[in-house]
Copies of this chain bind each other. A is one copy, B any other.
Amino acid sequence: MLDFTLEDLSAEDVERLRLVYQPLAESVRALVDATIRTEVDAGTVAAAKAEIDSATARLCHKQTDGSFGVRYLATGERMAWGNAVIGIRNPLAPPMQIHRDESGSSVCDFHLGAAYEGPPDHVHGGVAALVLDHLLGEAASDGINPRLTGTINFRYVRATRLGDLHAEARITRTEGVKTYAVGHLADAKGVTVEAEGVFIQPRWARESSE
């Protein structure tokens, strides 16, 4: 069974932790971009690397065993801060901030830079799949009980330009433990990738919610 830890943290505790760790991840995101795009000489790279290794050593002094996981708060809030798409503590995550609009769709405006490249100046097709898989999964979920991807299909209309992007997803129907969702990714010129998927409430989540 997957381990969703219940943490005894107040809203104030969470905000305090956010103020410590979110700016750190933002700094690392800027460093990731700089690492890809830098053209400085070997000596400067060595000096930067020494600082990076020193920072890593400081952070490793005390750390969680294994990955971050998903922590449920007493308030019902879900802390997925290590998540590869929405994790505010995960420098790999853009991170996407997903909202529900009036119609019930899950929508997100976000930016993808050099770190998400596939074809030159364009979003990696697999990154488009990554963000859409997450967004459709969120749309298919009630926000508390997770629904995991059963099957998902992507159709690439054209290449997606790196930059400011928009994505949205919505449920089309639910049958028992299966929820069907559709969505798309768009750049400034319109839709670039379409997705449809079936999301399933895992057995352990059904048991735990009984």
User: Cβ of A40 and Cβ of B52 under 8 Å apart?
Assistant: no
Interface of chain A residues 97 through 144 with chain B (CB within 8 A):
113-122, 124-127, 129-134, 137
CB distance A134 to B130 under 8 Å? no
Report which residue of A20, A47, A81, A150 has the largest number of chain B beta carbons within 10 angstroms of its beta carbon: A20
In the bound complex, do residue A151 and residue B155 qualify as a contact, i.e. CB atoms below 8 Å apart?
A: yes
Interface size range of chain A in the complex: 35 or more
Q: Chain B residues with Cβ under 8 A from A25's Cβ?
A: 35-36
The residue on B at minimum CB distance from A42 is B20
**Contacting pair A64 B85 (CB below 8 A):** no
This chain: copies in complex:
2
- Is A159 close to B, CB under 8 A? yes
Residue A9 interfacial (CB < 8 Å):
no
**B113 near A67: Cβ-Cβ < 8 Å:** yes
User: A74 within 8 Å of B by Cβ?
Assistant: no
Where the two chains meet, the residues of A that have a C-beta atom closer than 8 Å to any C-beta of B are 2-5, 20-21, 23-25, 27-28, 30-32, 34-40, 42, 44-45, 47-49, 51-56, 58-64, 66-70, 81-85, 87, 89-92, 113-122, 124-127, 129-134, 137, 146, 148-156, 159, 162
A84-B117, A90-B117 known, 5 other contacts, Cβ within 8 Å: A37-B67, A38-B60, A38-B62, A84-B115, A125-B149
17 contacts between A and B (CB under 8 A): A37-B63, A38-B59, A39-B64, A40-B58, A44-B58, A47-B58, A51-B51, A51-B58, A52-B52, A69-B117, A87-B117, A92-B92, A119-B148, A124-B130, A125-B133, A149-B154, A150-B156
